[in-house]
Amino acid sequence: MTMLAQNLKIFREKNKLKQREVAELINSTQRTYSGYETGTNEPDIKTLIKLAELFKVPLDILVGRYVDVSLQPPPAEPRKRGSANKSSVQLVVSANDSIINNGSGDMYVKLTPGQMRKIKELS
């Protein structure tokens, strides 16, 4: 599943909307929108812009170029030494990182390609 597909589902659920409702708001069908969330269809740029406006997030965040820190799960409890924990990723933000605030209290961090690869390896 692509970052876009994952983000569409996350933002739809965060806004307490059903797939059918989002589809109607962007002048599409539920079947087409469902394909966006599963990654079997990709929206065109006009539809991406509509979705970003609907969810009130920058396009970069919607497509996964930035990570929405507010949507990350809380850190997992520490595990015993030697046990693998691939279900959580700790994101450390320094003052030098590119941070975006969309004005609604959500914060986003621009990840380097290396950080994105590390997250993909762990997921």
**Other C-beta atoms within 10 Å of 3: how many?**
18
Residues 9 and 58 both lie in one domain: yes
Tokens of 88: 């959580």
Per-residue pLDDT reduced to its tens digit, 22-67: 999 999 999 999 999 999 999 999 999 999 999 998 898 888 877 6
Residues 76 and 57 both lie in one domain: no
pTM here is 0.59
Q: By residue range, what is the domain housing residue 95? A: 66-122
**Which residue, chain included where needed, has tokens 């933000």?**
93
Per-residue pLDDT reduced to its tens digit, 11-23: 999 999 999 999 9
Residue 26 contacts by C-beta under 8 Å, 6 or more apart in sequence?
33, 47, 50, 51, 54
Residues 70 and 50 both lie in one domain: no
- How much is the pLDDT for 70? 57
Residues 57 and 98 both lie in one domain: no
Tokens of 57: 């997030």
CATH number at residue 54: 1.10.260.40
Distance CA 37, CA 91 (A): 25
Q: How many domains does the chain have?
A: 2
Residues 72 and 114 both lie in one domain: yes
